[in-house]
Structure 1
Amino acid sequence: MSLARRLLAEAVGTTALLATVVGSGIMGTQLAAGNDAIALLANAAATAGVLYVAIVVLGPLSGAHFNPAVTLAMRLRGELDTRATLAYIGVQCVAAIAGVVLAHAMFDLPLLQPGTHARTGAAQWLSEAVATCGLLLTILLGLRARPAAIPALVAAYIFAAYWFTASTSFANPAVTLARALTQTFAGIRPIDAPGFILAQLVGTALALLLAAWLGRRTPAAAG
């Protein structure tokens, strides 16, 4: 598979992901009439749904990373070279912003609007580290145990993580960057984005360590 085709697949998938995250947040807020729980449920369900579809249809083309943390993990595991890694991450970031712009356009909103939703503090950072670590472990251990189940595993994990983390589980540096450009339900203040991204990188490193330890082969018991 040529790198250009893989990058196109990453661009399509990441754009769709962000358009869904932001668009479902807007629609959920409009329909929930002030009930944040209903809005979050709509946001989580739509995100999980589009992840399942995107991974199934685009996974055979690019691996369906849609996330610099996943791409970095694959590079550190030796599954991508540096050139492809940098290209993937660049495309993911640009496509994520394009997805936000697309969602705004579909709802007739200003295309770029610096986020105003405060998301900062130790609890939020811990949540992002946990969310990212869990996502990476789901992928890394899932690839070892049941590769065909990855789309369902990732979708189910993200749906759950929306609810059990205080941050609503961004778990993705490109998503964080792009969501700093919306004032909608899904947004984050630009000043808060670096803390989220640092926490996500910490979660990625922890997931790699845990996956390596859990995946070690142990000698058969003597006897």
Structure 2
Amino acid sequence: MELEKLQVKNVKKSFNGVEVLKNINLDFNIGNTTCILGPSGCGKSTFLNILTGEVDEFQGDIYGFKNISFVYQDPRLIPWKNVYDNIKFVLEDKMIKENAHKYIMQSIETVGLKGCEKMYPNKLSGGMMQRVNIARAFAYPSDILIMDEPFNSLDINTKIDVIKWFKNIKNTYKKTVILVTHDIDEAIELGNDIVIFSDKPTIVKKLIKNHISLDNITEKDIEYNNFKKYISTLMIKEK
């Protein structure tokens, strides 16, 4: 039976006696994008590392988190491999050669880098490298994509461009995405659901269903701004 949700139940984590995560309970709908917002240092990256298995000592249970790919803030491309081979690298032993080539070319085209297959990372802009990074993560035959502030290091114009290509490839591959960000506008634009984390010890302050129709609304609209103010209020640190 196919899972309808990924589940996190009563997850707790401490480091050297300091409680970082406290009773985290969340459901992630399959095929949706969930954006996680919270103050710096609240444990968002620790939470992601628990989901990926990088941190394996914690209290509580997680269900369904298998077959995962990960996108970091920095692209982490292999410098001696070109665009094509950077994506090919994650597909080795995962599928037959003909299918791998099809996936690679589809991913490259979907992020707008057709014609750049033979370029090496030192010849790519920061935005182009992050598009390769995203294409590589989507090409990998995973069901879940976890992203830790993937657009944070980009300038505003590059960020707009990369987010556009991210949405394009997300619509193509239909993966379940969990994305950590500090940017409320980014969360509203990308998230079907928005999770607000508190300061440490971290709890889920709020899970919000994103009701904004981004096809018909801009940042100048009253509905958008009211929704953004509501999220901003939730993110204010408690004294």
Which structure is higher in strand share?
2
TM-score with structure 1 setting the length: 0.25
**Structure (1 or 2) with the larger CA radius of gyration:** 2
Q: Going by fraction, where is helix more abundant, 1 or 2?
A: 1
